[in-house]
Amino acid sequence: MIPKFLQGLQPTLHISHRGGALLAPENTLHAFRMAVERCRTQMLELDVHLTRDGEVVVAHDHTLDRCTNGTGPLAALTLAELRRLDAGFRFTPDAGRTFPFRNQGIPIPTLREVLRAFPGMRINLEMKPETPGTEDVLYQVLREESALDRVCLGSEHDAVAERLVARMPGACHFYPREALTAYVLSVRSGEQPPDEPRYTVIDMPLYFGEVRLVDEAFLRTTARHGKWVNVWTVDDPEEMRRLVSEGVGGIMTDRPDLLRQILDATPHAQ
């Protein structure tokens, strides 16, 4: 059965990776708004963590050092403490010469804030914490915000992904790492992949080393299996064009501006 999340979607989807991490401070409302308003994105890709006081916030790293003016584990702070940090502090478009988003009041957002800011927007959501019970907190937020049908959930870790499926069996789920590896290896070797009805969406890299993993043959096979393929993270215009011509389900990019230009110039693209 096709999850409601996928119903009505047509390739190739415009998906903004962390909101467009090369254009604005990643995983912030500022980046998401830019992607939605300027680039007409069809899906936001984001990551979530839990604060010390149990709030679901949008951030990729377990630590604060790379993106903010804070240090140490994100989970060690309360939401109120995180609010005092500058989520635009480290962003630079020119290898450190300028930091245009510093001191602009850009905070780490909560998942609730993102869901409410972009009602109806589909979201590809990766849950980062591995701690059992985190899926219950995430479920509560999604249920209270009536967002279960517009979020595709997953984790890199198979055990976490399995807990997400168990907690939210009717939602859309993407493959975790080990299940994805088994699927891709079997398809590329011409073998029958493991039967895996729990996961409908394949979020995967375009390359493994020098090997391009996605091509028309791969996409034909995944379509026969009822799987939807999103490729990450593609910022090269020529690769974008090729993927669109091959009919990939979605392209995740840190350059949503470039992807929008290419899709607008491609007949029948989204």
Query: pLDDT tens, position by position, for the chain (270 residues)?
Result: 789 999 999 999 999 999 999 999 999 999 999 999 999 999 999 999 999 999 999 999 999 999 999 999 999 999 999 999 999 999 999 999 999 999 999 999 999 999 999 999 999 999 999 999 999 999 999 999 999 999 999 999 999 999 999 999 999 999 999 999 999 999 989 898 988 999 999 999 999 999 999 999 999 999 999 999 999 999 999 999 999 999 999 999 999 999 999 999 987 655
| Domains and their CATH numbers in the chain | 9-264 (3.20.20.190)
Residue 152 CB burial class (10 angstroms; 0-12, 13-18, ≥19): buried
Residue 4, CB-side half-sphere exposure with 13 Å CA sphere = 9
pTM: predicted TM-score of the whole model, two decimal places? 0.96
Of all helices (H) and strands (E), which one includes residue 204? strand 201-205
Residue pair 252/17 in contact (Cβ under 8 Å)? The answer is yes
